[in-house]
Every structure is written in C-alpha cells, then in structure tokens.
C-alpha cells in the first residue's frame, strides 16, 4: 500500500512544528523497522500542488499542530467538505482532497492528525508537553501503519482522540 505521511507547520514557532517533528519521528521508526510503502513529506503549509502529491497514494495522513483540540491528539477523516479553504498563504487538507478529486477524478482515503500544542512564539523547539502529545499520537498510529486497512475500516467517518 502506498501511504503518504505529510506533516506541516513552522518549526520556527515552537509547537507549530509538531507536524514536521512527527514526520521525522515516523520516518526514523519506519527505517529502523524496514517498513516499506511509506513516503514522507513536510512543509510550512499545504499548497495546491499537494493535490498531485496525494493523487497516486492509497492512504494519506496529514499531521498538524492544533490550538483547538481539548485532547492530546485527534485523528479525523478528511473529506472535500472539511473546511474547504484556500488563500495565497494556505490550503486546508479538505481543499487538497477536493482539488485532487476535481483534477484526478478520485482521491485516497485521507486523515488528519491534530496534535495539541501550547506555545507559538518565534523560537525553535517543541514544548515538553507537546512532545508527549506527539509521542502518544505516534504510538497510537504505529499499529495502523503496520496494518493500514484497519485505519481505513475503523475510522470511516469517526473522530478518534487520545486520552
């Protein structure tokens, strides 16, 4: 199965870099365990070109920091109706899925992991609590990466949150 794990955020703004750090952590784990079929990407934000990046995948998992979540992390299914927005500065996962469907006539099952962050100042480095949240999300996701069909089946239209 071709899986893309794509983190986004600004590592120069403390916990906003959670998506990028998650991808680095997952990539390290995948290499250590010789897990094939995974692709990794990260950026400051999603862009319209990402519709092409997801078009040939069988599963996509976006990862981003969140100020809104009450839980440590949440995983939700992304649909074309999931906050469809686009400005010259950012595109939402829902917009990317919708654009992929429009251009390529289909889109892979797509999920968004929201990891709770706490500090957003202009400095590098994640807070210790944000790192704990990232680790919980990472540990939760590992079995699904080893058996990706279970993620697709289990989460259909659900929102799954930690703690």
CATH 3.40.50.1450 describes domain 3-161: yes
pLDDT in tens, 36-58: 999 999 999 999 999 999 999 99
Domain boundaries, the chain: 3-161
Contact 85, 91 (CB under 8 A): yes
Rounded distance, CA 114 to CA 83, Å? 14
**Can you give the pLDDT at residue 157?**
53
Quote the pLDDT of residue 149.
79
pTM value? 0.91
Report pLDDT for 148: 86
pLDDT tens, position by position, 79-93: 876 555 555 457 899
Assess contact for 40 and 98: CB atoms under 8 A.
no
Residue the block writes with tokens 């990539």: 27
What is the spatial distance between Cα 7 and Cα 42, in angstroms, rounded to a whole number? 5
pLDDT at 156 over 60: no
């Amino acid at each position: 199965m071709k899986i893309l794990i794509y983190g986004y955020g600004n590592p120069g703004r403390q916990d906003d870099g959670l998506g990028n750090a998650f991808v680095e952590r997952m990539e390290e784990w995948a290499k250590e365990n010789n897990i094939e079929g995974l692709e990794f990407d990260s950026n400051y934000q999603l862009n319209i070109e990402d519709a092409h990046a997801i078009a040939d995948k069988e599963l996509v998992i976006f990862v981003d920091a969140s100020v809104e979540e009450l839980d440590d992390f949440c995983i939700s299914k992304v649909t074309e109706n999931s906050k469809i927005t686009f400005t010259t500065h950012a595109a939402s996962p829902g917009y990317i899925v919708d654009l992929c469907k429009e251009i390529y006539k289909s889109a892979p099952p797509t999920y968004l992991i929201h990891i709770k962050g706490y500090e957003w100042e202009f400095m590098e480095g994640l807070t210790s609590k944000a790192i704990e949240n990232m680790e919980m999300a990472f540990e939760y996701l590992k079995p699904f990466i080893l058996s990706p069909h279970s993620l697709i089946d289990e989460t259909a239209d659900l929102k799954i949150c930690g703690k």
